[in-house]
Amino acid sequence: MKKLIVLLFLFPIALKAQDNPLMIFKPLENYNWSAEGKWGDGSIFKQEISLEFSLDNKIVKVESMGFTNKEQTEFGLRNHGVRQYDEKSKTIRFWEFDIFGNLTEGTLESEGKNLIYKYNYGGTFVTEMWIYKNEKTYGFIVGVYENNEWKQKFLETEFKRTIK
C-alpha cells in the first residue's frame, strides 16, 4: 500500500517533467562540453559549454568559454545564454549574449536526441546542429541547412563531455 501511495504521489511529478520541452537539455546538465576545430575561413574554434536549469526548470542557463578577443589569443567567459520554452508560440527560444556586445537569438528544435538551433546571423539563416553520437559525444555542425541537407558548412567538429 505504501508503494502505491508513493507512486500516486510521484506520477503527476513525472508527467509534469515529461511535458517540459526543455528536458531535452537534461543529458547535457552537470557536465562541461568541449570542442575544437577550424572555421571554413581557417580561424580557430575552441569552446567549452556548461548549462544548468533554473527558475523551477522554466529556463536553461548556458555559459560558454571561448576566445574573448578578435586576435584569438585570450580565452575566457565569452557568452551567457538562455533557453526558454515559449508557451504562446510552442517553441523553444534562445538568446546568446556575447562579450563583444552582440545578441544572437533564434529557435531550437529537437529531432530525437539531436538539437537544432536556427537563427539569422548577419543576414544569413544559420543552423547549428548537435548530433547525438553517444552519451559522451555530440557531432556539431554550423552552416546553412535547407530541406534536410547541408548547403554549406562553416564548421564541423565534436563536443566531448567532461565532468565539471
The grid coordinates listed for 56 are 523551477
Global pTM exceeds 0.75: yes
Domain boundaries, the chain: 22-163
Per-residue pLDDT of the chain (164 residues; tens, 9 = 90+): 554 444 444 444 444 445 899 999 999 999 999 999 999 999 999 999 999 999 999 999 999 999 999 899 999 999 999 999 999 999 999 999 999 999 999 999 999 999 999 999 999 999 999 999 999 999 999 999 999 999 999 999 999 999 87
End-to-end C-alpha distance for the chain, whole angstroms: 41
**Residues 22-163, CATH architecture:** Beta Barrel (2.40)
